Amino acid sequence: MKNLFPLILCLFLFTGHIQANDGYKLWLDYQPIEHAELEQTVSELFSGIYFYGENPSYDIIQKELELASQGFLNKMPSYSSERFQGANLWVGTREELSQFLGLEHQAKIKALGEEGYWRGTIIHEGKNYYALIGNSPVATLYATFDFLKSIQSNTFDGSIEKSDFQKVKLRMLNHWDNLDRTVERGYSGFSIWDWHRLPGYVDPRYIDYARANASLGINAVSLTNVNANAWILREDFVEKVKVLADIFRPYGIQVFLTARFSAPIEMGNLETADPLDKQVQNFWKERVDMIYEAIPDFGGFLVKANSEGQPGPHEYGRNHAEGANMLADALSPHGGIVIWRAFVYSHEIDEDRHKQANLEFEPLDGKFQDNVIVQVKNGAIDFQPREPFHPLFGAVKETNLGMEFQITQEYLGQATQLVYLGTMWEEILQSKTYRPTASNTVAGIIDGSDSKQNLTLMAGVSNIGTDRNWTGHLFGQSNWYAFGQLAWDPDRSAEEVSEEWIKLTFGQKAEVHSKIKEIMLTSHEAAVNYMTPLGLHHLMGRSHHYGPGPWVEGGRADWTSLYYHRADSLGIGFDRTETGSGALEQYASEISQKWTNPKQTPEKFLLWFHHLPWDYEMQSGNTLWEEIGLHYDGGVKTAREMRTQWRQLENQIDSARFSHVDQLLGIQIEEAEWWRNSSLLYFQTFADRPFPESIEKPEGDLEFYKQQRFPFAPGIRPNW
């Protein structure tokens, strides 16, 4: 027995190592503190924790501190039953600690709002206490997570005060999860909501999910697909939802559901879903009352209506505002809200898809009730690798507008490719809208600072599933993380957020930081280059949206790749100026007047707005055709460079995560080549010009590419 001990120990350590690095713990992997001085400080703080009250959020703080202490220090923390004697770390709300905060200090913390917090050292009778103080128990939880992150990233300093507050009211994940656990555009397994076994069985993942979200300040989730199933509104399903809502509540997370507009017909035995019909209104009122009976802090409904075949008010000759307001009336007595999506793709409208949302929503400005938010995708087409910001931002003055980003990489290589989205979101958020005033940005509109709206929202379509590491690709976690951070503060820098995530995920080694940061910060541009450079868009294969398909026609022939790139023997690109669809005019005149001239259009959006000759001269002096080639080729080269960089870290990253990412980068490179080769061979059939000399000549045969779906198919979904 004795002799086996080292072997068992070894096995234990080995398994521990593997488990610790399978990615499950996300950025909350509290690893042993490496610096002796910090370890000493933290050890002292954790040896005398005093809670200034009792409530469910403090229970969670306690559990989190215990987890952290075991990870950081390999021991349990100890608590003090007395606030002075033996106490070093104070946990409480501003009110609970008011006697130790001067009036001015109290006022400052109060001004941070209900979710704002302060952490720092309080000196009382000559002794230092480190305090985690929120304006509410949930805010104290936020202070705790921030404190733990600072330890984990080796930046904790007791002499520095830190305060923070949320700039956006609703920071929300939208799950596109179906009740059968498939996920629309989900690439990391199945839905984490196990409807079948709820309400009886509570998967521990629900708790870890809530922890992760709370650690980022995400405070709302919509559980179900916007292509909605009315069943979620049945009483037995609401019982299941209640279990999740009860778990999430102390983490400060509110639950929303998607409402299928035709539910009164499907489940209320009514003949209509007309929002002005009394019986329909009663149906919704009763449903909503039933939901609030079970879930008193229910958030409200997220609705996709009259888009891609979803039912909506247009069937009854009513507009979006009439539809949304009817639901808003049912919700408002309970404090609930309606989030109404502006993603309206109607096959009946014979207009540039780009224009539809503005055409339908601008005339309704001022007609939506106060508890309605119109949720707008970041761009007017559909989560393309790169889009200019959506022209609805700035176009309406009396409508609450929320942002919808897509965290799941539907058009960006799904869970196979490493694409850090922080930089893309930053580009959108920092775009100038020039409306309502000249200095306005998208961020300023959605956080209310420019638009003055009270109800503010940033939503992200979730990339979370049942995969052990939650997001399929380890780096998908960085996008969940970045989304949370930018929703908390849309003015944060994507670079800073990436640094934070790297430290929390990979530890403290400088070379690891610099290499991974470079990989992350170049990854989005690389993907744009090898997929859809210079403003090209929607060139993906039909339905799956994964690999290249610039040649794809069929189905709705007018809305496939050919519709979007418009390549012909003369040139390429979508003319959205006044000689074309005119969509450019939906932007402020500062933009539309300038960009009507291709020479004044940022080249990254050139072919989004202009159809130009193959020999059009670019800023570099190259022709458009050459530049397209250089971009595709450049994208491939960056993808290769990403793997070279990663491989230099082989000895500095645990083998499980190293190999996971390394293998996926291998696939990414092959796919980037596939994109480049097939797209360039295809466009050459129109351009009829040789490839620029400096690029790698695209290999293969166009017919072959056209016949193949793409090398690494993620599979076709049954409902496609």
Is 525 known to be catalytic? no
Asked whether the beta carbons of 532 and 700 are under 8 A apart, the reply is no
Residue 454 vs residues 84, 110, 169, 400: alpha-carbon distances, Å: 41, 18, 8, 8
Rule CB under 6 A: say whether 182 interacts with ligand GCW.
no
183/273 with CB nearer ligand GCW? 183
- Residue found by looking up tokens 């003015």 in the block: 491
Nearest 5°: the CA angle 414, 417, 418 is 120
222/417 with CB nearer ligand GCW? 222
227/281 with CB nearer ligand GCW? 227
Q: What is the DSSP letter of 249?
A: G
286/308 with CB nearer ligand GCW? 308
Which of 39, 203, 266, 382: binder of ligand GCW (CB under 6 A)? 382
| Residue of closest CB approach to ligand GCW | 382
Where are the extended beta strands (E) located within 76-126? 89-93, 117-124
Is 95 known to be catalytic? no
Tell me how far, at minimum, the Cβ of 343 lies from ligand GCW, in Å.
Answer: 5
Sheet of 49-51: strand order equals 49-51, 89-93, 127-134, 117-124, 162-164
343/616 with CB nearer ligand GCW? 343
492/538 with CB nearer ligand GCW? 538
Peptide linkage before 199 cis (omega within 30 of 0): yes
Which of 352, 410, 426, 525: binder of ligand GCW (CB under 6 A)? 410
Which of 184, 246, 315, 670: binder of ligand GCW (CB under 6 A)? 184
Rule CB under 6 A: say whether 450 interacts with ligand GCW.
no
Q: Footprint of ligand GCW on residues 219-238 (CB under 6 A)?
A: 226-227
Q: Of these residues, 274, 410, 626, 627, which one is catalytic?
A: 410
The Cα 612–Cα 602 span in angstroms is 14
Tell me how far, at minimum, the Cβ of 291 lies from ligand GCW, in Å.
Answer: 22
Tell me how far, at minimum, the Cβ of 262 lies from ligand GCW, in Å.
Answer: 16
Nearest 5°: the CA angle 457, 462, 464 is 145
The shares of helix, strand and coil residues in the chain, as percent rounded to the nearest 5, are 45, 10, 45
Number of residues that bind ligand GCW (CB under 6 A): 11
Asked whether the beta carbons of 609 and 575 are under 8 A apart, the reply is yes
217/548 with CB nearer ligand GCW? 548
Rule CB under 6 A: say whether 343 interacts with ligand GCW.
yes
Name 250's Cβ contacts closer than 8 Å, sequence gap at least 6.
55, 56, 57, 59, 60, 137, 138, 141
Asked whether the beta carbons of 617 and 626 are under 8 A apart, the reply is no
- What is the length of the chain? 720
Which of 72, 90, 130, 176: binder of ligand GCW (CB under 6 A)? 176
Q: Footprint of ligand GCW on residues 284-313 (CB under 6 A)?
A: 304, 308
Tell me how far, at minimum, the Cβ of 261 lies from ligand GCW, in Å.
Answer: 14
Asked whether the beta carbons of 513 and 502 are under 8 A apart, the reply is yes
62/227 with CB nearer ligand GCW? 227
Q: Of these residues, 59, 161, 308, 617, which one is catalytic?
A: 308
Q: Which helix (H) or strand (E) holds 561?
A: helix 561-565
Tell me how far, at minimum, the Cβ of 321 lies from ligand GCW, in Å.
Answer: 20
Q: Of these residues, 22, 114, 382, 654, which one is catalytic?
A: 382
Rule CB under 6 A: say whether 383 interacts with ligand GCW.
yes
Tell me how far, at minimum, the Cβ of 391 lies from ligand GCW, in Å.
Answer: 18
Rule CB under 6 A: say whether 360 interacts with ligand GCW.
no
Tell me how far, at minimum, the Cβ of 414 lies from ligand GCW, in Å.
Answer: 12
Tell me how far, at minimum, the Cβ of 453 lies from ligand GCW, in Å.
Answer: 23
Rule CB under 6 A: say whether 392 interacts with ligand GCW.
no
3-state DSSP of 487-555: HHCCCCCHHHHHHHHHHHHHCCCHHHHHHHHHHHHHHHHHHHHHHCHHHCCCCECCCCCCCECCCCCCC
Tell me how far, at minimum, the Cβ of 545 lies from ligand GCW, in Å.
Answer: 6
185/676 with CB nearer ligand GCW? 185
Provide φ and ψ at 517, rounded to 5°. Answer: -60, -45
Tell me how far, at minimum, the Cβ of 411 lies from ligand GCW, in Å.
Answer: 8
220/588 with CB nearer ligand GCW? 220
Residue 368 vs residues 85, 304, 338, 428, 625: alpha-carbon distances, Å: 56, 16, 10, 25, 47
Q: Is the dihedral of CA 447, 448, 454, 457 positive or negative?
A: negative
- H helices of 113-231, in order, are 137-152, 204-216
185/576 with CB nearer ligand GCW? 185
Tell me how far, at minimum, the Cβ of 15 lies from ligand GCW, in Å.
Answer: 40
Q: Footprint of ligand GCW on residues 530-569 (CB under 6 A)?
A: none
Residue 265: burial class (beta carbons within 10 Å; 0-12, 13-18, 19+):
middle
Tell me how far, at minimum, the Cβ of 446 lies from ligand GCW, in Å.
Answer: 18
Residue 116: burial class (beta carbons within 10 Å; 0-12, 13-18, 19+):
buried
Is 266 known to be catalytic? no
User: Which residue in 214, 168, 211 sits closest to 488, CA to CA?
Assistant: 168
Where are the extended beta strands (E) located within 228-366? 254-258, 300-303, 337-341
Asked whether the beta carbons of 189 and 466 are under 8 A apart, the reply is yes
483/595 with CB nearer ligand GCW? 483
Helix (H, G, I), strand (E, B) or coil at 90: strand
Rule CB under 6 A: say whether 185 interacts with ligand GCW.
yes
The Cα 271–Cα 529 span in angstroms is 51
Question: Strand pairing of 89-93 and 220-222?
Answer: unpaired
Binding site for ligand GCW (CB under 6 A): 176, 184-185, 226-227, 304, 308, 343, 382-383, 410
Catalytic residues: 308, 382, 410
